[in-house]
Chain A
Amino acid sequence: MNIDEIFDFTSFTIDREPHIVLDDKVCAGCDVRGCTNCCPARCYTWSEAEQKMTFVYDGCLECGSCYVVCQRNAFTRWRYPRGGFGVSFRMT
């Protein structure tokens, strides 16, 4: 299976207001970055060249992994999307 495909099979209603907000200064000083490999939706990307964390909330599956593994509490906001927004599972 081409693993990139897997991310295209889930539906979302994207909110303009992000439900997770990161303080990327905290991430720049982080030595673990568990979020990058634990997030099942590839929302976190660390650029070694730019020393910068990019976080995209569009494909977030609202699983909670980043909330659990981040030990520096880099989140200035971590809540579920506002009612009616976010991931939508049809069967699962």
Chain B
Amino acid sequence: MSKEFQAIVVGAGPAGSSAALTMARAGLDVALVERGNFPGEKNMFGGLLHRMTSIEEVFPDFWERAPLERHIAKKGTTFMTDAASFHVQHETASFDRTPYNGYTVFRPKFDRWLAEEAVKAGVTLINRSTVEDVVLKNNRVQGVTIVGRQGKLSAPVVVAADGVLSFTALKAGLRRPGFNPDQMAVGIKALFDLPKEVIDDRFGLVRDQGFANEYVGCTGGVRGGGFLYTNYDTISVGLVVHLSSLRASGKTPYDLLNAFLEQPQFTKLLKGGRLMEYSAHVIPEGGYAMIPELYGDGILVAGDAAALCNATGVNLEGINLASHSGILAAKTVVEAHAENDFSRKALKRYKDRLDLSWVMKDLKGFRNAPKMLHIDRIYNEYPELVCSMMEHVYRIDGTPKVSIPKLIMREVKEKVGIKNAFSDLLTAWRAL
């Protein structure tokens, strides 16, 4: 196989498909290269598709067309110890109306749908093809080589949208060879089968309402957190743990997951559920500090490949940033074609566009979030503090009651120390 295109996109994830779709709609002849048997076959994530305003511009009836599970009407956070949990929750009628604020989805379905929409717009989708290298001519990227179906594709410009480890960006010299495990987390997930009615009852949902919950304190002291998301008739649960902290702990992610699933309050939520699938993937969580070179001669980098992922500890946003950056990369390529200039200088406009967009503004605004996420006390001492304090508040045992401010002070002194608590509060304040 050897063919010419006007642009090549590596990777049919949300970044790649959004880029390819946008270029095809503008009339370019685009190849979208994907290593899976179909787009999404290799992709997993926690489960929340946050609202994608840029995709809503492409598909005004997005929520009717896309293969979505439930829309998120309720969000919660649970502080957890081995024996206790304290839960806070937010629910609003506005999240229960279109345009919905977020949905649960399955990547093998969602990514496939988005790529098929790109094909409808004229994109040539090339599945089962792992890009091995970039083709350089006069130091400019002019195509890619493929293993699987052997071959070579040529184009004056390539969009690297091949996800977090982006070997395409590496081969083009845009990212450094190694990663810093401090800036990376691994997510593992198990999918459980439960009838829709059971899910509705158990989580207090009606119609297609969904529930998204994050857990703090369930990772055996390893930096990270847990999640539970309701799909139509399955439940996604899992953990996201930072790799440097995991490595140092000597613990394995599946043992941590098992302990999480066996916590007594948690067990009830999954009761009767049948295990269906297990998956894992690394996540770029270094934020703004981690972003590699975004463009070079004949190449642009979008989505996770460019570390455009925003983990603030409250939300983990990736798909929406990936899709938006893909669209901005595509717009830049369309301009480059109009001017027939694919030089680094011409493609810099992509970075200018990103800098002006909410993607970079969010990443910049939350650039201290990774620092906060590295406070180890968040993952052990604080959940214990919260749970033990609430136990004192609720327990009635014939001893005189302590006022809540006093209780807080006592617990803080005992569990973290005043000085630490103060410095953590400051770090958190700066991060958020």
Among A9, A40, A65, A87, the residue within 8 A (CB) of B276 is A9
> Is B339 engaged at the interface, CB distance under 8 Å to the other chain?
no
Among B132, B148, B178, B190, the residue within 8 A (CB) of A73 is B178
**What residues of B have a CB within 8 angstroms of the CB of A32 in the complex?**
247
Q: Which of B38-46, B75-83, B348-356 contacts A (4 or more CB under 8 A)?
A: B38-46
Contact status A82-B148, CB under 8 Å: yes
**What residues of A have a CB within 8 angstroms of the CB of B181 in the complex?**
34, 68-69
What does the 1/0 interface line of B327-343 toward A look like (CB < 8 Å)? 00000000000000000
> Is A50 engaged at the interface, CB distance under 8 Å to the other chain?
no
What does the 1/0 interface line of A48-92 toward B look like (CB < 8 Å)? 000000000000011111011101010000011111111111111
Contact status A92-B279, CB under 8 Å: yes
The number of residues on chain B lying at the interface, defined by a beta carbon within 8 Å of a beta carbon of chain A, is 58
Residue of B nearest to A4 (CB): B254
Contact status A40-B277, CB under 8 Å: no
CB distance from B269 to the nearest CB of A (A): 14
Among B127, B254, B262, the residue within 8 A (CB) of A42 is B254
Known: A62-B42, A63-B186, A83-B148. A6 touches B35 (CB 8 A): no
A68 to B45, CA, bound (A): 18
Residue of B nearest to A85 (CB): B148
Contact status B108-A89, CB under 8 Å: yes
Contact status B106-A40, CB under 8 Å: no
A9 to B280, CA, bound (A): 13
Residue of B nearest to A81 (CB): B130
Contact status B42-A63, CB under 8 Å: no
Residue of B nearest to A34 (CB): B247
Which of A38, A68, A84, A92 is the most central at the interface, judged by chain B CB atoms within 10 Å of its CB? Answer: A92
Which of B108, B191, B278 is the most central at the interface, judged by chain A CB atoms within 10 Å of its CB? Answer: B278
Residue of A nearest to B179 (CB): A68
Known: A10-B277, A37-B246, A79-B130. A3 touches B258 (CB 8 A): yes
Contact status A69-B106, CB under 8 Å: no
> Is B165 engaged at the interface, CB distance under 8 Å to the other chain?
yes
Among A9, A69, A79, the residue within 8 A (CB) of B247 is A69
Contact status B243-A91, CB under 8 Å: no
A37 to B43, CA, bound (A): 23
CB distance from A4 to the nearest CB of B (A): 9
Among A10, A13, A38, the residue within 8 A (CB) of B186 is A38
> Is B146 engaged at the interface, CB distance under 8 Å to the other chain?
yes
A6 to B253, CA, bound (A): 12
Known: A3-B258, A41-B280. A89 touches B130 (CB 8 A): no
Contact status B44-A83, CB under 8 Å: no
> Is B390 engaged at the interface, CB distance under 8 Å to the other chain?
no
CB distance from A8 to the nearest CB of B (A): 9
Contact status A10-B247, CB under 8 Å: no
CB distance from B54 to the nearest CB of A (A): 24
Known: A91-B191, A92-B108, A92-B191. A9 touches B178 (CB 8 A): no
> Is B72 engaged at the interface, CB distance under 8 Å to the other chain?
no
A4 to B283, CA, bound (A): 25
Contact status B278-A84, CB under 8 Å: no
CB distance from B193 to the nearest CB of A (A): 10
Contact status A90-B277, CB under 8 Å: yes
> Is B167 engaged at the interface, CB distance under 8 Å to the other chain?
yes
A68 to B109, CA, bound (A): 28
A8 to B187, CA, bound (A): 18
Which of B36, B132, B246, B262 is the most central at the interface, judged by chain A CB atoms within 10 Å of its CB? Answer: B36
Contact status A38-B130, CB under 8 Å: no
CB distance from A43 to the nearest CB of B (A): 11
> Is B147 engaged at the interface, CB distance under 8 Å to the other chain?
yes
**What residues of A have a CB within 8 angstroms of the CB of B164 in the complex?**
64
Among B36, B44, B109, B186, the residue within 8 A (CB) of A65 is B186
> Is A31 engaged at the interface, CB distance under 8 Å to the other chain?
no
Residue of A nearest to B186 (CB): A65
> Is B188 engaged at the interface, CB distance under 8 Å to the other chain?
yes
Contact status B129-A69, CB under 8 Å: no
> Is B423 engaged at the interface, CB distance under 8 Å to the other chain?
no
Contact status B246-A1, CB under 8 Å: no
13 further interface pairs, Cβ-Cβ under 8 Å (given A68-B243, A91-B276): A6-B275, A9-B276, A34-B246, A40-B188, A40-B254, A42-B254, A63-B282, A68-B282, A82-B148, A83-B130, A86-B42, A88-B37, A89-B44
Interface CB pairs A-B, < 8 A, 9:
A6-B275, A34-B246, A41-B280, A62-B42, A64-B165, A65-B186, A71-B178, A88-B42, A90-B108
